[in-house]
Amino acid sequence: MTILLIAVAVTTVLFDVDLEYDVALPAEKQVPDPAVEARYEQCYAEEDHEIHEKAFGTIDNPEVQKEFINSNRVRAERDCRERYPESMIIVREPFHFRLFTLRPRFW
């Protein structure tokens, strides 16, 4: 019993202990396909970069730059989503059981 109390005391001193009750049965759920979403994000980042280069390279007025960027971002988002439509995949999540989480406090 004494060893158990010492172990609990040392654990609470060295670790942040978060008590949580997280239990889930095996289940299937639909999530967006990560490969398609990565290609969409890359497309949008490239389009956004081009929009900013064009705005800052050709427009001097900050208000006009802001309006140009905002309106073209909407277009870029729509165009990239048309090229890479959202695709859902089924992911099987396993059973998991968690009562607490330990995070090192000092390292």
Q: What is the mean pLDDT of each run of 10 residues along the chain (107 residues)?
A: 89 87 90 96 97 93 94 96 95 90 85
- The whole-number pLDDT of residue 19 equals 87
pLDDT of residue 100: 85
Q: Which of 1, 14, 12, 18 is nearest to 107 (CA)?
A: 14
Nearest to 86 by CA among 95, 77, 94, 74: 77
What pLDDT is attached to residue 43? 97
Q: What is the pLDDT of residue 77?
A: 96
One-letter identity of residue 15 = F
pTM for the complete prediction? 0.65
Whether the CA torsion 102, 103, 104, 106 is positive or negative: it is negative
Give φ, ψ of 33 to 5 degrees.
Answer: -65, 120
**Contact by Cβ (8 Å): 106, 15:** no
Query: Looking at residue 68, what is its pLDDT?
Result: 95
